[in-house]
């Protein structure tokens, strides 16, 4: 645990030890219906990469899907398939958030309202509570909160600093009765943040999360930030360049500037209707001893993998082609939610 540890509550950095990663499987009664043949292989690739390092929790919308996946993974005891109804598959935003309270793991369950009421979310919002009632999290406590908050909007350095965006957390479609100070106080109380760094700029075309931080900027250590950088002729250039200037002005807890490592934007990806899709290399997932890197089958993939390897020299970089996933406007990190290691390590 970091030496600072002034607060009784601490949201760990993603690179800290994990017990499991949760995914919510796509199904025919969701917007994924016409994409299932292309997207399920991506999910299987993600599960295979995670299961080599730790447990995987797969949320299944119905008993038929659960039986099919249980058969698929019958020889992999580290993969468990749990039954819970779902509207969509973005576990990063409806899954529980790990914190340590006085060193003991607890899970925080915030309200998920479909990114400000854009999509149905009633079933997704209930998933964490159902898994807890089924005993999936063992003896780890799950605390429910009235605050609307998604995991994709939070980036923790594990040492009390939160990086986030004003576009998302201050958007009135989440918590219209709360101002910035009130939201900050709830983040401090529930997740233990001592410093909150707000970004005013940065967005991706096609993103419907109101600029989740995990599509734009990520911690690769308490002193290092990985961020999206656009070419001058790209429509994102003005916004991402303004974000880059903000990042240059940010300071670490010790007053030093952050080490900044730019990630290229992938070549523009478009839907069948001609709309640009939110492809980003910042949406990687850190697991035990590996980093799962979203790629898109474009020239920029190699440079992104090289930068991730530079940022995470102790981790193996595992590329996963997420081109089918961005058809539904998210990527690899958005699909997953890590559960960190309990203090007593009895649940693994």
| Interval 318-347: pLDDT, tens | 999 999 999 999 999 999 999 999 865 444
pLDDT at 14 over 80: yes
What residues make up the domain containing 223? 9-340
Q: Smallest Cα–Cα separation from 123: which of 58, 80, 210, 59?
A: 59
Asked if residue 165 belongs to a domain, the reply is: yes
Average of per-residue pLDDT across 149-159: 98
Judging by DSSP bridges, how do beta strands 55-60 and 79-83 pair with one another?
parallel
Residues 68-106: tens digit of each pLDDT: 999 999 999 999 999 999 999 999 999 999 999 999 999
Which stretches of the chain are DSSP H helices?
36-51, 63-72, 91-94, 114-117, 122-133, 166-169, 180-191, 237-249, 300-311
Asked if residue 348 belongs to a domain, the reply is: no
> How many domains, the chain?
1
Residues 55-70: tens digit of each pLDDT: 999 999 999 999 999 9
- Which secondary-structure segment (H or E) carries 10? strand 9-10
Structure confidence at residue 157 as a pLDDT band (50, 70, 90): very high
- Which secondary-structure segment (H or E) carries 74? none
pTM over 0.75: yes
Using the structure block, give the residue that is written with the tokens 């398939």: 81
How is residue 208 annotated by DSSP?
-
Output the CA torsion sign for 232, 238, 243, 245: positive
Please report the pLDDT score of residue 305 as a whole number: 98
Average of per-residue pLDDT across 130-136: 97
pLDDT at 182 over 60: yes
Q: Determine whether 77 is exposed, middle or buried from the number of CB atoms within 10 Å of its CB (0-12, 13-18, 19+).
A: exposed
Asked if residue 346 belongs to a domain, the reply is: no
Asked if residue 4 belongs to a domain, the reply is: no
Asked if residue 1 belongs to a domain, the reply is: no
CATH number of the domain bearing residue 55: 3.75.10.10
Q: Average pLDDT of the chain?
A: 95
- Marked catalytic residue, from 60, 168, 322, 334: 334
Asked if residue 181 belongs to a domain, the reply is: yes
pLDDT at 18 over 50: yes
Please report the pLDDT score of residue 181 as a whole number: 98
Please report the pLDDT score of residue 252 as a whole number: 97
Nearest 5°: CA angle at 144, between 141 and 148?
140
What is the total residue count of the chain?
Answer: 348
CB-based contacts of 314: which residues, under 8 Å, 6+ apart? 289
pLDDT at 137 over 50: yes
pLDDT above 90 coverage of the chain, percent: 95
Structure confidence at residue 197 as a pLDDT band (50, 70, 90): very high
Measured distance between the N- and C-terminal CA atoms of the chain, rounded to whole angstroms: 19
Structure confidence at residue 6 as a pLDDT band (50, 70, 90): low
Residues 212-263: tens digit of each pLDDT: 999 999 999 999 999 999 999 999 999 999 999 999 999 999 999 999 999 9
Asked if residue 3 belongs to a domain, the reply is: no
Asked if residue 2 belongs to a domain, the reply is: no
Please report the pLDDT score of residue 347 as a whole number: 42
Q: Is 81 among the catalytic positions?
A: no
Please report the pLDDT score of residue 28 as a whole number: 95
Please report the pLDDT score of residue 184 as a whole number: 98
Please report the pLDDT score of residue 100 as a whole number: 97
């Amino acid at each position: 645990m970091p030496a600072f540890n002034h607060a009784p509550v601490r949201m760990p950095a993603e690179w800290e030890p994990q017990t499991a990663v949760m995914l919510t499987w796509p199904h025919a009664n969701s917007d994924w219906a016409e994409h299932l043949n292309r997207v399920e292989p991506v999910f299987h690739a993600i599960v295979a990469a995670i299961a080599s390092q730790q447990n995987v929790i797969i949320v299944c919308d119905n008993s038929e899907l659960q039986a099919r996946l249980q058969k698929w993974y019958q020889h992999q005891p580290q993969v468990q398939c749990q039954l819970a109804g779902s509207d969509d598959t973005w576990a990063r935003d409806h899954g529980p958030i790990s914190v340590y309270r006085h060193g003991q793991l607890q899970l925080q369950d915030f309200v998920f309202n479909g990114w400000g009421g854009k999509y149905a979310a009633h079933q997704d919002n209930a998933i964490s509570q159902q898994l807890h009632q089924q005993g999936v999290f063992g003896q780890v406590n799950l605390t429910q909160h009235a605050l609307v908050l998604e995991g994709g909007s939070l980036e923790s350095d594990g040492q009390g600093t939160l990086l986030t965006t004003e576009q998302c957390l201050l958007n009135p479609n989440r918590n219209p009765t709360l101002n910035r100070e009130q939201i900050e106080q709830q983040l401090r109380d529930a997740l233990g943040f001592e410093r909150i760094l707000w970004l005013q700029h940065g967005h991706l075309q096609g993103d419907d999360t109101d600029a989740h931080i995990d599509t734009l900027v990520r911690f690769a250590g308490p002193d290092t930030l990985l961020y999206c950088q656009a070419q001058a002729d790209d429509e994102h250039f003005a916004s991402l360049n303004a974000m880059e200037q903000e990042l240059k002005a940010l300071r670490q807890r010790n007053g030093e500037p952050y080490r900044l490592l730019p990630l290229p934007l992938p070549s523009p990806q478009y839907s069948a209707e001609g709309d640009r899709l939110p492809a980003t290399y910042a949406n990687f997932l850190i697991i035990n001893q590996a980093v799962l890197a979203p790629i898109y089958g474009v020239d920029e993939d190699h440079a992104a993998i090289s930068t991730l390897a530079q940022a995470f020299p102790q981790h193996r970089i595992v590329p996963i082609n997420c081109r089918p996933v961005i058809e539904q406007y998210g990527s690899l990190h958005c699909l997953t939610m890590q559960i960190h290691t309990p203090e007593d390590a009895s649940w693994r």
